[in-house]
Structure 1
Amino acid sequence: MIKVNRGIGRVLKTVSVCALLAVPLAACGPLQMPLEDRTGNDQWLDTQIKSGILGEFSKVDHTYLMDVNIDIWEQNVMVTGMVDSKGKYYDVVSLVKQDNRIKTVYDHLVIADQETIDAYHRAEDEYGKNAVPTDSATQSVSDVWIESQIKALLLAEKGVSSVNYRWQSVQNVVYIMGEAQSDAELEKVLSIVRRIKGVTKVVSHIAKA
């Protein structure tokens, strides 16, 4: 059953990535971008950069599309996920950095052995969006569940524009970037994320407007 779930999860992620790569850039434009607290042109540039990086991943190694996360805000790129060798690590970082429009790369890519990566995928597929039972002493809360909680809580919180943030949870460490409109919003966002069950650490690259 786990293998079936894993297959479905990977297919869904592949479909979403392929959809991004397949959409002709000319068919969309800055005016069609989501309503974030920044210009449409700025959002559009981020979309182009991400599409380019994912395109390079697809040419070099399709596993990068599954195991590496690319998040961008105002041409600052946050790289998270896991790869099974130093060679793949340097390969991914090199592919990301070749776009000279990128201002900063926040590198949080983890090198782990293949057994650890496979076990991680199995656990994520098994638990999906459900938290691990509280009586479990050996298993961590699902990263998928943590990410869904962040989305729901930020969306519901007054004074927080959730569309201005990007986040990933990897082995229960949350990496978040974006832009807060005030010190109060920044503190509110970080406080919400830190209180979520299972989060062991929060690494913030959130800028202030």
Structure 2
Amino acid sequence: MHPLAPLGRGLCLCAGLLALAGCAPALFAGGVTGIIFAAQERSVGEAVDDFTIQTSLEAKLLQASEHLSRRVNLKVVEGRVLMTGIVNTPEDERTALALARDTGGVREVIDELEVGKAPGLGKFVSDTWISTVFRARLSTDSQVAFINYGYEVSEGRIYLIGIAGSPGELDRVTEHARTIKGVREVVSHIVLKSDPRRPA
């Protein structure tokens, strides 16, 4: 993660807290948040559980070292934790993975961490641009339920996680990612809604 990235993470965390704080009344009042949760393949309880896993693991990473907190990116869907980013040493990677596996509620840890030097400003700007374009494509595609997907971009690679309602939707999401200028690889950990590995 680039040194500027924690600002974006903080804004996302605040947005998540606001969304979850308002979900219960909105569901009963028929508000916007209720509509958003209705579009999710996860239940409200599962979404809250995922948020709890993410915040707990972020706290553990920060307690372990500021380096891990800054360089490890997390996305959690139905207890599956996608870990991306570039850490300094193999020991850093092992520590991050162990912390994830030891976090309550985690069903699977997906290791996409790399060991090496942090990308320079040029790559950070390129990744940010790719992320912005991808988000715009998903959020404006009426055949994609954007709320069901998470992603991270690192050195031109887009890492995907989430729940696709159909094979066709999965193909659309992958194609949106693959055709963005500057994308070198798309790594998908998306599962279908009908996947038997999902929680009952």
* TM-score by shorter chain over 0.5: yes
Pair 1:144 & 2:128 matched: yes
Question: Which residue of the other structure, out of 76, 79, 100, is the alignment partner of 1:75?
Answer: 79
Question: Which residue of the other structure, out of 89, 93, 98, is the alignment partner of 2:93?
Answer: 89
**Contact kept in structure 2, 1:160 and 1:185, CA below 8 Å:** yes
Identity of aligned residues (%): 23
| Secondary structure of the structure 1 residue equivalent to 2:190 | strand
**Contact kept in structure 2, 1:164 and 1:180, CA below 8 Å:** yes
Higher relative contact order (CA 8 A, sep 6+): 2
Structure 2: distance between partners of 1:30 and 1:74: 18
Structure 2: distance between partners of 1:13 and 1:194: 24
**Contact kept in structure 1, 2:6 and 2:70, CA below 8 Å:** no
After TM superposition, the score normalised by the length of structure 1 is 0.77
**Contact kept in structure 1, 2:84 and 2:152, CA below 8 Å:** yes
Structure 1: distance between partners of 2:81 and 2:155: 20
Moved over 3 A (4+): 13-21, 27-30
User: Partner of 1:181 in structure 2?
Assistant: 165
Structure 2: distance between partners of 1:97 and 1:20: 26
Instruction: Extract unaligned runs of 5+ from structure 1.
Output: 1-5, 129-141
User: Partner of 2:106 in structure 1?
Assistant: 102
Instruction: Extract unaligned runs of 5+ from structure 2.
Output: 27-32, 194-200
User: Partner of 2:174 in structure 1?
Assistant: 190
Question: Which amino acid in 1 is paired with 2:169?
Answer: E
> RMSD of aligned C-alpha atoms?
2.5
**Contact kept in structure 2, 1:20 and 1:51, CA below 8 Å:** no
**Contact kept in structure 1, 2:82 and 2:109, CA below 8 Å:** yes
1:193 and 1:18, CA in 2 relative to 1: closer, same or farther beyond 3 A?
A: closer
Pair 1:12 & 2:7 matched: yes
After TM superposition, the score normalised by the length of structure 2 is 0.80
Structure 2: distance between partners of 1:158 and 1:29: 25
Once the two structures are superposed, the pairs formed by residues 1-209 of structure 1 within 5 Å of their partners are: 9-10=4-5, 12-13=7-8, 15-16=10-11, 19=14, 28=21, 31=24, 34-35=36-37, 36-112=40-116, 116-117=117-118, 120-124=119-123, 128=125, 142-209=126-193
Number of paired residues? 180
Structure 2: distance between partners of 1:40 and 1:200: 35
Q: Report deviation, 1:200.
A: 1.0
